[in-house]
Amino acid sequence: MKLHDLELSGNCYKVRLFAALAGIPLDIAPVDFLGGAHKRPPLIDLNPWGEIPILEDGEVVLRDSQAILVYLALKHAAPGWLPRDPAGMAAVQQWLSTAANEIQNGPCAARLVDKFGYALDKADTLRRAARILPLVDAHLARQRWLVGAQPTIADCAVMPYVALAPEGGIALADYPNLRRWIDDMRALPGFLPMPGI
């Protein structure tokens, strides 16, 4: 399986992290992101969104980091990473949606402004982060992992841009449960770091 990847992308890191934790081998293909390779053929034909990561597994081509986590979990990982029962899978889905929306447009977007100079509304990203991070922190005050009694792809989807929030000027000092959770993730066997985490 080939992952079209950028080392500094938290969305790509979600996939690399989960693959490392679950013992799934990936063929990493670095993308010339600054050169805009993701906006041109052949990558734009694989993902018309013009984004990375992109996963290729034979005929299967997937955009969206959450979708790639679902695919890898169902096809290649131990069942605990993505519960198959309706309540468990839906509980994970709640956090995949949170990763795609509130985390992406909050702490992730704040980092895009500060670290990569994206022309986004920084105040809006901070407002969104100030809403979502206390909610996640409060949830993690009640349980060790986001869903159930063990780590799932929900943790892999949400943790990266929470841990990278300081690169967007968002301190985690007021969120003790987020810091504990990030430490617990870092202590997992096979954990893979990235710059900033």
Residue 1 or 187 with smaller CB distance to a second copy: 1
User: What's the min distance (Å) between Cβ of 151 and a second copy?
Assistant: 19
User: What's the min distance (Å) between Cβ of 193 and a second copy?
Assistant: 25
Helix ranges (H only) for 56-150 are: 65-76, 86-98, 109-116, 122-142
Distance CA 73, CA 56 (A): 15
Residue 28 or 135 with smaller CB distance to a second copy: 135
Compute φ and ψ for 8, nearest 5 degrees. Answer: -85, 0
Residue of 41, 26, 105 lying closest to 71 (CA atoms): 26
User: What's the min distance (Å) between Cβ of 186 and a second copy?
Assistant: 26
Residue 74 or 130 with smaller CB distance to a second copy: 74
User: What's the min distance (Å) between Cβ of 58 and a second copy?
Assistant: 9
Which residues would be at the binding site for a second copy (CB under 8 A)? 48-49, 60, 62-64, 66-68, 70-71, 74-75, 85-87, 89-91, 93-94, 96-98, 100-101, 104-105, 121, 124, 135, 138-139
| C-alpha of 150 from chain center | 17
> Which segments within 31-89 are labelled E, that is strand?
54-57, 60-63
Residue 49 or 191 with smaller CB distance to a second copy: 49
Amino acid sitting at position 106 = G
